[in-house]
Amino acid sequence: MPDLPLIARAKQYGSAVAFRTPVGTTTYQDLLTRSASLASTLLAGQPDLKEARVALLAPAGASYVAAQWGLWRAGAVKVPICLTATEPEWEYSLTDSGASAVMADSASALKIGPLCLRLGIRLIDIDAANDSAGPLPELTPDRRAMILYTSGTTSKPKGVVTTHAHISAQIESLIQAWEWTKEDRIPLFLPMHHIHGIINVTCCALWVGATIEPFTKFDQPAILERVKADAYTLFMAVPTIYVKLIQALESSDAAERAKVVAGFARLRLMVSGSAALPASVHLHWTALTGQKLLERYGMTEIGMAISNPLRGERRPGAVGQALPGVEIRLKTEAGEIITSENIPGEIQVRGSNVFEEYWGKPTATAESFDAEGWYRTGDMAVFETGYYRIMGRLSVDIIKSGGYKLSALEIEAALLEHPDIAECAVIGLPDDTWGEAVSAAIVVKGEAKLELPTLRDWCKSRLSVYKIPQRLSVVKELPRNAMGKVTKPALKNMF
């Protein structure tokens, strides 16, 4: 029986350590054994789940990967959902994907259990399931593997569908470009409903037989202790985390700072992504640690597409060159392919890394592609002396904050449910820590009063914490053009 590529490779590593935590280790064989058992639990006597959607809700770690491999080995499609999402957000992902089951760790199962009961969806506690393994289906790389929800220019997230072949292509490109080996060791503190944590860290590490140290969140003191102890060879984070690390280093005493800086300096590679890395932060980090961060560019639909080189100039403010196996071109708004440097255009991507479709949205899928399979990213860039530099989004309704790509329209829809808000518009404003800060301009009803702390508290049951406005401007009216549409560029002056 042929194995999926990740499973076949894991069988080569056997007793090697896949995950290390303060309480013990998990080998590759442990993951294979546990995932086979979970696959049998999911199958419940069926020969093949035939791309049934199964949601996964668990923190980063061995149990998460065992569940991921288990549902894949059973023939299911993985739907990762956010640990900190609200119940309405969970419900949207489950119902939109048509999920037939949810796999969750014990703590998460308690939280999502009532929703599963209400929706009639099977809930499997991955910490308690203990079936022995039975026969598993034969699978081919062209099978759908994952539906990852991403915010776009619509009010609700779209489900990005990738096959096992797409995922393998995304992994192999990074393995080659960043020279991953089985000797690598990396911390994992990124969200596991986001491509950065799923592909760039977890899948790449496990593809080559490397070791992962998982954290349920960015535990700065614990991670810095491990950096000092030379626990890692690689480090991947979003710009927000590098800003926080700079603040922590500069506020620590000289002796402690020297130890941490020395640990960072010994790493073979440090990567920044999921949001634009300000050149000032890039230069500041190099001045502090001697490490030149490698910035790259990617998105849920394409994995990673462009990267500064592992060996060569890592240019602050630029994202580098096309990754192996990925084709990149720039196209003007007039539809002309750009062949010269210093002319801005939309980034378009083609290759075996590019996703299959938006789940259940054939029109949106068709509109997102140009002729001959070129995916339209909606990001503007310019090619300067051999490197791409990102200029921003074609759509003002996309906000990149703390490594997340957020839909301003989704946030606006939630805010309009507030009893005191008559109108609102949401934009991203430049922010040294978050890249862009979610900022809401609102018109209140009548004589109502509304302040940011009160609004944030109200939002907590309706929006994930990273979507909640960080800045608020109460205005008499929103700026509009002759057609009555809010002119979002003019909103910046209201803050």
Q: What is the pLDDT of residue 153?
A: 56
119 burial (CB, 10 Å; 0-12 / 13-18 / 19+) is: middle
Do the Cβ atoms of 57 and 113 come closer than 8 Å?
A: no
Q: Which amino acid is at 162?
A: T
pLDDT in tens, the chain (495 residues): 578 999 999 999 999 999 999 999 999 999 999 999 999 999 999 999 999 999 999 999 999 999 999 999 999 999 999 999 999 999 999 999 999 999 999 999 999 999 999 999 999 999 987 777 789 999 999 999 999 998 765 568 999 999 999 999 999 999 999 999 999 999 999 999 999 999 999 999 999 999 999 999 999 999 999 999 999 999 999 888 998 999 999 999 999 999 999 999 999 999 999 877 888 889 999 999 999 999 999 999 999 999 999 999 999 989 999 999 999 999 998 899 999 998 889 999 999 999 999 999 999 999 999 999 999 999 989 999 999 998 877 777 778 898 887 878 789 888 988 999 988 899 999 998 899 999 999 999 999 999 999 999 999 999 999 999 999 999 999 887 655 668 888 888 888
Closest CA to 385 of 449, 433, 321, 430: 321
Q: How many residues does the chain have?
A: 495
Q: What is the pLDDT of residue 114?
A: 98
74 C-beta neighbours (distance < 10 Å), count: 27
For residue 39, the SS3 value is helix
User: What does the alpha-carbon distance between residue 395 and residue 425 come to, in Å, rounded to a whole number?
Assistant: 14
**What letter does residue 196 receive in the DSSP assignment?**
I
Residues 6+ apart with CB under 8 A from 267: 227, 232, 233, 234, 235, 291
Domains of the chain: 5-139 (3.40.50.980), 398-494 (3.30.300.30)
Do the Cβ atoms of 144 and 163 come closer than 8 Å?
A: yes
For residue 19, the SS3 value is strand
| H or E segment to which residue 76 belongs | none
For 432-463, the DSSP string reads TTTEEEEEEEEEESTT----HHHHHHHHTTTS
User: What does the alpha-carbon distance between residue 482 and residue 220 come to, in Å, rounded to a whole number?
Assistant: 50
For residue 168, the SS3 value is helix
Do the Cβ atoms of 125 and 105 come closer than 8 Å?
A: yes
Longest Cα separation, the chain: 70
425 burial (CB, 10 Å; 0-12 / 13-18 / 19+) is: buried
Q: What is the pLDDT of residue 278?
A: 81
Closest CA to 95 of 57, 49, 53: 53
Question: How would you list the strands of the sheet with 77-80, edge to edge?
Answer: 122-125, 101-104, 53-57, 77-80, 144-150, 158-163, 357-358
User: What does the alpha-carbon distance between residue 77 and residue 131 come to, in Å, rounded to a whole number?
Assistant: 21
User: What does the alpha-carbon distance between residue 401 and residue 46 come to, in Å, rounded to a whole number?
Assistant: 43
Compute CA distances 330 → 349, 381, 392, whole Å.
9, 7, 14
User: What does the alpha-carbon distance between residue 239 and residue 355 come to, in Å, rounded to a whole number?
Assistant: 26
For residue 423, the SS3 value is strand
User: What does the alpha-carbon distance between residue 87 and residue 231 come to, in Å, rounded to a whole number?
Assistant: 37
**What letter does residue 100 receive in the DSSP assignment?**
S
pTM confidence score: 0.86
Closest CA to 319 of 347, 358, 339, 340: 347
Residues 6+ apart with CB under 8 A from 270: 234, 235, 236, 237, 264, 291, 293, 294
User: What does the alpha-carbon distance between residue 43 and residue 298 come to, in Å, rounded to a whole number?
Assistant: 34
Show the DSSP H helices in 128-272 as ranges. Answer: 164-178, 195, 204-208, 220-228, 239-251, 254-265
